[in-house]
Amino acid sequence: SPSADGAELAAKDDNPYEILGVDVTASKRAVRDAFRAAAKRAHPDTPGGSAKAFDALAKAADVLTDDARRAQVDAVLLDVPAGSLALEELRWSRELAALREAEDAGEVKDPAAVLEAARAYAAAEKALDAIAKRKKKAEDAEKLRRKEDALRASQAARLEITSRVATKGLRGNDVAVTMTVTSEMLTEALEAQSGPGGEKVLDRVTLPLRTTTAVNCSKCDGWGEKEGHWTLALDKLCVKCGGMCRVERTATVRVPLRVDALDGE
């Protein structure tokens, strides 16, 4: 099918725009002009030309002068769904390019043609303006969605912190960490902590363990807001913790261990 042909071209990295050396906004006139110029050099009867190169040019020109196939290629190359604003914007940009080229070629002369061109210009510019407004609206909606997601996450974090403080006080959540201790580590710790010549007889030693914990955000003092107080404003979340109130911090924990600890303890 035409759509499948367009997807196949893009999927094989045989970008028809690159083959012909034209921009994505190129009109059909520009595509045909580019094909004619390149085809003279690529024709099999021309020194340095080949049937393969000529066929690639012809196939690219066929795709870019067929609206349906070109839209399919654009969707694949731009990674956007069919009927998207990006494709609609491209189509109207090409319409404007075609109108300018017709004017430059002296094809718009009689009053009827001038009036028709003026109407076409107005329609294209109006369409592009409407697309720009729709894109801005979609971008604003996406920004609002992200802010609302951040707000919900921060509210959940605050609820968890409030509940934990009510039951545990200021202690944070316990963190489980698995530590592998070798006999060499145990011997080194024992020698270091028993003093010169082993003057202290120890039944246990402490080993340093690096672990990640959560602490109150220093920028907002644990409130999650830029101003240091809790509001419902979506654009006032703390830039450091993103409204989560807590931030991760790596710390060294001293782990006590018996000197006669067995494997698996």
CA–CA separation, 35 and 58 (whole Å)? 7
Q: 212 and 248 in contact (C-beta within 8 Å)?
A: yes
Q: What dihedral angle (degrees, nearest 10) is formed by the CA atoms of 125, 126, 132, 134?
A: -160
pTM over 0.75: no
CA–CA separation, 251 and 177 (whole Å)? 13
CA–CA separation, 221 and 245 (whole Å)? 8
**Domain range summary for the chain, segments of one domain joined by +:** 2-107, 173-258
Q: What is the pLDDT of residue 169?
A: 63
Q: What is the CATH number of domain 2-107?
A: 1.10.287.110
Nearest to 213 by CA among 181, 166, 257, 251: 251
* Residue 258 in tokens: 């018996």
Q: What is the pLDDT of residue 48?
A: 80
CA–CA separation, 63 and 134 (whole Å)? 29
Q: What is the pLDDT of residue 264?
A: 62
Q: What is the pLDDT of residue 47?
A: 84
What count of residues does the chain have? Answer: 265
Amino acid code (one letter) for 254: R
> pLDDT 10s digit of each residue in the chain, 265 long?
344 544 444 444 478 898 898 888 888 888 888 998 898 888 888 888 888 888 889 999 999 888 888 888 888 888 888 777 788 888 888 888 777 877 777 776 777 767 777 787 788 788 888 888 888 888 888 888 888 888 888 788 778 777 776 776 655 566 666 777 777 777 777 777 776 665 666 677 787 777 777 788 888 777 777 665 555 555 677 888 877 778 888 877 777 877 776 666 6
Q: What is the pLDDT of residue 3?
A: 47
Report helix angle 28-42 to 85-104, nearest 10.
80
